[in-house]
Amino acid sequence: MDARQLPYRLVYTGQHSETFNELEKAFGTRDADEVLVPNFEAATKKRFAAWLIGFSTQAAKRMIGGSWRGTKLGVVHGDTASTLLGALVIRLIGARVCHVEAGLRSEKLLDPFPEEIIRRLTSILSSIHFAPDRASVDNLSRTKGQVIETSGNTLRDSLSLALASIGTLPTKGGSGGYAVISIHRNENLSSTSDFDFLMNLVLRVSDVLPVKFVLHPATREKIMATGWLDQLQRKPSLELMDRMDYMEFVSLLIHSNMLLTDGGSNQEEAAMLGLPTLLLRRTTERGDGLGDNIVLSNLEHGITDTFVRMNAYASWDLREPSDTSPSKLIVDTLQATVFGCRGDTHSKPSK
């Protein structure tokens, strides 16, 4: 949108603020026009409640004051609390909601929680649904509004930018001789038995090869609250890492032998890269990479131990994402809907 000089207003909800400055710098995006809850990280249930109050208060002030009056479309992404609340606010100010990464569905309303509920409610509020694949399109067959298949999520564009910033890429990944682990989903953090299983898994993997454990804020808080920090820190082959900017994270993945994660975005990245990945979940609503380089762990020892043993210190063929640009298709649609024209343009439309 910046490249086409399309006028828009960028609003951060403030639910998660960690690494945002690094992300803006890495991708060359401009600062937000508004940050509703600045310098905040909703890493615990108590902090989430505080953020919810702050978001609601600030959004209500702007709605009452009319500062968002005249908005035609509002864009939300994914399946976080910010997605649903953002969509609700957009509807309340009289604008239409565009949902990016729409149509993902599991078979159970409460699994994963709360993501599945958020997806379904956001679909009800949305007028334009940008669905990443045919399965997602089919899931929206009974949903009102326009459904557009984007042939991937906008993460495809992000990954392409990250790979371009690295420069000359190796043909093989895995030269670093380590595993990357990332755990953050509510379903894993809120279950004591599952969380203990995963922490023991981290320790077992570090007995086989070095581990770089990238900690999300919520995961860091959980580790400290449950007494696992001391055990993890005592392992010399285990490095606890803060989150980093996206370009650095992609480089970390390229040089790793394997990824163990519960993240949907990580699953997408790994599927596009060809990185051997163990999905730390019992079920997934995403088909990316399954049956290829992605293995669903079902949180079972046999599956996890076999995966680690097979991929430790092994190289893998590095792929590059296709030239398809979901972001371009989305902006084409927004431009046509609001300004009545499509395609790349460098002339700034009138508001």
Kindly report, residue by residue over 127-179, the tens digit of the pLDDT: 999 999 999 999 999 999 999 999 999 999 999 999 998 888 999 999 999 99
Phi, psi (deg, nearest 5) at residue 179:
-110, 145
The answer to whether the CB of 253 falls within 8 A of the CB of 259 is yes
**Which residue in this structure is represented by tokens 């992300």?**
23
In this prediction, residue 111 carries a pLDDT of 82
The whole-number pLDDT of residue 9 equals 94
Listed range (48-57, 103-112, 245-254) with the worst mean pLDDT: 103-112
Report pTM.
0.88
Give me the pLDDT at residue 348, please: 41
**Which of the two residues, 22 and 275, has the higher pLDDT score?**
275
What's the confidence (pLDDT) of residue 127? 97
Q: What is the pLDDT of residue 70?
A: 92
Q: Are 297 and 307 in contact (CB under 8 A)?
A: yes
Mind listing the pLDDT tens digit for each residue in 3-51? 999 999 999 999 988 778 778 888 888 899 999 999 888 888 899 999 9
DSSP 269-333: HHHHHT--EEE-SS--S--TTBTTTEEE-TT-HHHHHHHHHHHTT--EEPP---S--HHHHHHHH
Least confident of 34-48, 51-65, 79-93, 121-135: 34-48
- At 342, the pLDDT band (50, 70, 90 cuts) reads low
Angle, CA of 69, 75 and 332, to the nearest 5°: 110
Rounded Cα distance, 16 and 5, in Å = 28
Q: Where do we find the tokens 């960028």? A: 10
Dist CA 189 CA 1 (whole Å)? 37
CB distance 110 to 116 below 8 Å? yes
Residue 297: partners with Cβ closer than 8 Å, 6 or more residues away = 278, 279, 280, 281, 303, 304, 307
Q: Check residue 16 and report its DSSP letter.
A: B
Cα 2 from Cα 24, distance rounded (Å): 13
- Residues β-bridged to residue 146: 128
- The pLDDT of residue 169 is 92
Q: How large is the average pLDDT for residues 97-116?
A: 91
Say if residue 218 is exposed, middle or buried (CB neighbours under 10 Å; 0-12, 13-18, 19+).
Answer: buried
pLDDT number for residue 211: 98
Q: Residue 344's pLDDT is what?
A: 53
Eight-class DSSP state of 97: E
Q: Counting Cβ atoms within 10 Å, is residue 5 exposed (0-12), middle (13-18) or buried (19+)?
A: exposed
What's the CA gap between 50 and 145, in Å, rounded? 34
Higher pLDDT residue, 251 or 23? 251
pLDDT of residue 303: 97
Q: List helix spans (H) across the chain.
A: 20-27, 45-65, 81-92, 115-125, 134-139, 155-166, 186-189, 192-208, 217-226, 229-233, 246-254, 264-273, 301-311, 326-339
State residue 343's pLDDT score. 61
Mean pLDDT of 251-259: 97
For every residue of 221-242, DSSP letters joined together read HHHHHHT-HHHHHT-TTEEEEE
List the one residue out of 165, 230, 121, 143 whose CA is nearest residue 27.
165
Mean pLDDT, the chain, rounded, equals 93
Task: Please determine, for residue 351, whether its predicted confidence score (pLDDT) is greater than 50.
Answer: no
pLDDT band at 199 (very low <50, low <70, confident <90, very high): very high
